[in-house]
Structure 1
Amino acid sequence: MKTKRRNDLDICADILKVATGGARKTRIVYQANLNFRIVKGYLERLIELGLLCFEAPCYHATPRGSRFVDDFERLFAA
């Protein structure tokens, strides 16, 4: 049985969902089912886009990031 591979939008949405209430990198890695090497690039990109912020020691989804998750879930709910 083939499994569906996640695209970048799916992965970004998963990271932002985990970081909504604040999360350390380890929690993001485990709950988004990624590895540390991969998650590093995504975290940097999400911070550059203003969807995520880092307040040591946690990452938090910004209001813009939360809107992204809401819109993403609404679009792909079907």
Structure 2
Amino acid sequence: MNAVSERLTPRWKERRGRLEIIEEVLFAAREGARKTEIVYKTNLNFTQLASYIRYLEEKGLLELSGPLFRTTSKGNEFLQDYQKMKEVLRTEEA
């Protein structure tokens, strides 16, 4: 299980930050996903998700393609860069 898929399991004791939620939404939409699927994978409600979708679409990280939301190439670059940043920070903490 990789770090991102581990992140998609609900964590009841720890609050997620905005960047973590953005990572989860983009990860859930990599192959294309309906809103309901993203809600289940990210443990957000529809109102919260709508806010993130608007923001990510405005930034060019997520797009609506028919009935599915898809992570754009820019969104995939963000995921890669964010993962590298987390690895660097994790290495420095060890």
> TM-score when scaled to structure 2?
0.77
**Any stretches of 5+ residues in structure 2 without a counterpart?**
1-11
CA-atom RMSD in angstroms? 1.3
Percent identity between the aligned chains?
A: 38
Q: Is the counterpart of residue 73 in structure 1 residue 83 in structure 2? A: yes
| Aligned match for 2:37, one of 27, 30, 38 | 27
* Number of aligned residues: 77
Moved over 4 A (4+): none
**Any stretches of 5+ residues in structure 1 without a counterpart?**
none
Deviation, structure 1 residue 5: 1.0
Deviation, structure 1 residue 4: 2.3
Alignment of 1:1-78 (within 5 A): 3-77=13-87, 78=90
Max Rg structure? 2
Greater relative contact order (Cα 8 A, min sep 6): structure 1 or 2?
A: 1
